[in-house]
Amino acid sequence: MLVKWIRCDVADSAGFDRGQQEWADLAGLPGFLGQLGGWSHDGSQVAHIFSFWVDQDAYEHFMSGAHDALAQRQVGTWSKIDVRLFERRADFGQSLAGTSGSGVLRLAHCVVKPDRVDHFAQVQKTVWNPGMSAAPGCLAGLFGQRGCQEFLVLTKWVSAAEHARYQAELFPSLRDRAVPSADLESITGHLVDLEPHWTVTAGDS
C-alpha cells in the first residue's frame, strides 16, 4: 500500500476547507483506499492530509488523470505544500485506510542513521507497535518507509486527552526499551485534529 502525506501551510482556511471537501470525488477511483486529514493541534494554519492507494501504479494513474481537476479547486488557498510518498511496512490495530475521520492523528516523521535502519525497524515491530496498540484510546496505526532512511509512524487516537495519557503513562517505559536516540538522526512530530468531513472512504460515492 502507498501512503501519501500532504502538508499544507494554509492562507485561506475557509476556502481550503471547502476545497478539501470536494476531494470526496476520490471515492470509487481505481486503487483508492481512503483519505483523512485535519489541522495541526497547535492552532497553526497547517493542514495534514493522508491518502492511501493500493500501489504505485494506481496512484500514478490517478495523478495522470483525475488529480489536476480536483486540485484546481484549492488553488490560492495554500501558500506552501510538501508531498511525500511512503510504502506501508506494517499496520497495527485497525487499518488507517478504512477508519472514520474523528479523533486525532499523531505522526512521527523519522530520519534514521544509515547503520541503524534494521535496528530501528525491529524495535518498531517489537516495542512501539505492540506498545501503542495496547494503549487505551489507540484505534489504528501504520508504519511506512520512504527511501532508505525516512520513516513515518501514524497512530489514530480517540482524543488528544487519550494521547496525552499515553505519553504520560506508557511512553516513558517504551522509550526506555527502544532507546530511539541511538537510531535517529532527527524526528518531527505533529498532532492533528481530524476533520470528519475531510474523510473519504473507498466506495463512498
pLDDT in tens, 102-144: 899 999 999 999 999 999 999 999 999 999 999 999 999 999 9
> Position of cell 495523478?
63
Mark 145-163 as b/e (b = at least 16 C-beta within 10 Å): bbeebbbbbbbbbeebebb
At residue 8, the pLDDT reads: 97
What is the average pLDDT across 175-190? 97
Strand 150-157, strand 104-112: pairing: antiparallel
Strands 138-146 and 200-201: unpaired
pTM: 0.94
pLDDT band at 100 (very low <50, low <70, confident <90, very high): confident
- Average pLDDT (175-193) is 97
- Which among 69, 205, 87, 73 is positioned nearest to 144, based on CA atoms? 87
Average pLDDT score over the chain: 95
